[in-house]
Amino acid sequence: MKVYISVLKLRLSMGMQYRAAALAGVATQFFWGFISIMVFEAFYQHAVQTPPISLKELIQYIWLQQAFLVFVMMWFRDNELFDLITSGNIAYELCRPSGLYGFWYAKLLAQRLSSAFLRCFPILIVACLLPKPYNLEPPTSITSFLLFLSALLLGLLLLVAISMFLYISVFITLSPMGSLLVFGVLSEFFAGLVIPVPLMPVWLQKIAYVLPFRWTADFPFRVYSGHIPVHDAIIGILIQLTYLTVLVLLGRTTLNGVLKKVVVQGG
Amino acid sequence: MIHLEGITKAYKIAKRSTGLRQAAKALFYREHTIVDALMNISFSINQGEIVGYIGPNGAGKSTTIKIMSGILVPDTGKCTIMGYIPWKERTQYVKNIGVVFGQRSQLWWDVPVMDSFELLKDIYKVPQQEYKSTIDLLIETLELQEIVSTPVRQLSLGQRMRCEIAASLIHNPQILFLDEPTIGLDAVSKIAVRQFIKTINKEKGVTVILTTHDMNDIEALAERVILIGKGSVLYDGYLEELRQRFGTHKTITADYGKNANPIHIPGASTLSWTPERVVLSIDTDQLKTSDVITQLSNQVELIDVAIEAQPIEDIIVQLYKEYQI
């Protein structure tokens, strides 16, 4: 356990170095947030029937998505791990007495946490101060806020578990580009990061509800805005936990499987 | 302590000729060649030995190191190190070994070296007290005082290498595998590293297996060498024996007061001659060095004589030639 904490610490201190990147990220996310809100507002003004999610709820959804972007985006990746695999430096990782899965999981988690630390607060604060109706409202109740927090953190753990498969796939393909694109597009879309899940056609919603991706982003954001009521949120958290357990176990087994076959060539 | 028996390892390598046409063809059909990296390797190493593991490029040195450190699984053969089978009981086993791969890095690129050390301390669960004394010793003997608080990306190759070696020793391993540890080091660092390896071997009884292309490393450190070529062990024994078997050539350089007559000594070949100096090459099996000097002093008025044994590099080249590798 101590190892994981020190990986987290080291990675945090490392991530904090990149202030310019964080600043640029904050600026981009504001820009992006405004554009999305404007686009959806235009759609909502001309909607024939009442949309399944109100504009106010949608705005909460978008600001949270922008603030916690690194918690929910699959493309936010650790190139060092890819390099480790493709360059063969993994040889060193294999000489360590700790399991690779936990070690890398901690690394990836820490990377996302450290980036989020620097980015989420400015966005959240400014978004709260924006004029109505474009502002981020405080949560509807303490219960829903606590539920949101646990859903968000579980979502993060789940996303890291999913992204582990990305790194495992590089052992076989040796190039991260393909897996990144496939994983990136699929997960982003089905997590509701392009179009919020409630706005998808019903048949697409059905697919999205089966896949694990939406539990990483769509679910916690809708818990916050109150679109998902407390009772459903608690069930949702249980589903998140189940997914997390299954994916971690599956990832572990797969990783151990590929490690048995890995051949570090050269030098 | 280390025991290898009949280790064999073959790599499957995709091959194709150059050119676009061949690349297109390889999309549909790929040829593979099987490269036998190791064929029936056997040796034993006792505790506290320093063994030089030498051989030309591509001989299988790194492959053996990887098998011994549990990263690669051999195709056939037995390998037990400290009672463990490296690739089967990897997590248990690797606590006891330290590995330096000269061409790879284990330090975190973006953070000061010390942070990487601290992380390794936690990975290997080294108690704080023990860590403190080990790290102090490492910093002192490898002369790291000024570089441990610098991020790795700003270090030179030699500085980084010294840190890599230190990183591999934080958990006080009983066996140390060094795969080309002196690559890219300047003369001073090389000597520091050699001195250090000697020290830990003497004081802590660490068993060291060292691969290198720098024969000076071998001469300075190893009493025993294992020569491997094309995947087989060709020679396993003392360096001194190797020298006696192959290093029988000596070069004698003599300076003398001006003498216009060319010098001729039966049995010795003259490499160069001027009125003030002659360079001779002799085979000590056929001609004693002292005889040559006696004959020289009879012919000229000697000022200075220098005798050089054949450098170990030449002996190794000769060995490679003899085994046709």
Question: pLDDT at position A153, please?
Answer: 94
Q: Which of A30-39, A74-83, B196-205 has the lowest mean pLDDT?
A: A74-83
CATH of domain B248-309: 3.30.70.250
- Cβ proximity of B5 and B11 under 8 Å: no
- pLDDT band at residue B235 under the 50/70/90 scheme: confident
CB B259 within 8 A of CB B89: no
What pLDDT score does A161 carry? 94
CA distance A185 to A200: 16
What are φ and ψ of residue A102, in 5° steps? -60, -40
Q: For A97, which of B103, B115, B124 is closest by C-beta distance?
A: B124
Look at B103 and A95 and tell me if their CB atoms are within 8 Å. Answer: no
> Mind telling me how many Å the CA of B306 is from chain A's nearest CA?
40
Q: Which residue of B has its CA nearest to A103?
A: B123
For chain A positions 57-96, those within 8 Å of chain B (CB to CB) are 80, 87-89, 91-92, 94-96
Helices (H), chain A: 2-15, 19-45, 55-67, 69-72, 79-87, 90-94, 100-129, 142-173, 176-190, 202-210, 218-225, 230-261
Mean pLDDT of A198-203: 90
A266, pLDDT greater than 70: no
A130-168 pLDDT per residue, tens: 888 888 888 878 888 999 999 999 999 999 999 999 999
Q: Predicted ipTM?
A: 0.78
Write out the CATH class of domain B46-243: alpha beta
Could you tell me how many CB contacts below 8 A there are between chain A and chain B? 75
Q: pLDDT tier at B176 (50, 70, 90 boundaries)?
A: very high
Q: Which residue of B has its CA nearest to A11?
A: B111
Q: Give the span between the Cα atoms of B148 and B126, in whole angstroms.
A: 19
pLDDT at A240: 94
Paired tokens of A80 = 């060092």
B64 touches chain A (CB under 8 A): no
Query: Which of A10, A18, A93, A95 is the best residue to mutate to test the B interface, defined by the most B CB atoms within 10 Å of its own CB?
Result: A95
Q: Test B179 with A80 for CB contact under 8 angstroms.
A: no
Residue A267: is its pLDDT beyond 60? no
Q: Given CB atoms, is B172 within the 8 Å cutoff of chain A?
A: no
pLDDT tens by residue, B268-282? 888 888 888 888 888
Q: Does B307 have pLDDT greater than 70?
A: yes
Q: What is the mean pLDDT of residues B252-263?
A: 83
- Partner residue facing B115 (CB), from A10, A80, A264: A10
From the list A5, A7, A14, the residue facing B110 with the nearest CB is A14
B61 vs chain A: nearest CA distance in angstroms? 9
| Edge-to-edge strands, sheet with B2-15 | B31-45, B2-15, B76-81
A236 confidence band (pLDDT: 50, 70, 90): very high
Work out the pLDDT band at A63, boundaries 50, 70, 90. Answer: very high
Residue B64: phi, psi to the nearest 5? -60, -45
B72 and A98 within 8 Å at the Cβ level: the answer is no
Interface of A with B in 126-155 (CB under 8 A): none
Residues of B in contact with A267 (CB under 8 A): 62, 101-104, 179-180
Residue B278 distance to chain A (closest CA, Å):
44
Instruction: Work out the average pLDDT over B192-200.
Output: 88
For residue A7, list chain B residues with Cβ-Cβ distance below 8 A: 119
Q: Where are the domains of chain B?
A: 46-243, 248-309
B49 touching A, CB under 8 A?
no
pTM over 0.90: no
What confidence category does residue B71 fall into, taking pLDDT thresholds of 50, 70 and 90? confident
Whether residue A95 and residue B70 make contact (CB cut-off 8 A), yes or no, is yes
Q: Which residues of A fall within a CB distance of 8 Å from B115?
A: 10, 13
Rounded Cα gap, residues B94 and B175, in angstroms: 10
**For testing the chain A interface, which of B99, B113, B122, B180 should be mutated: the one with the most A CBs within 10 Å?**
B122
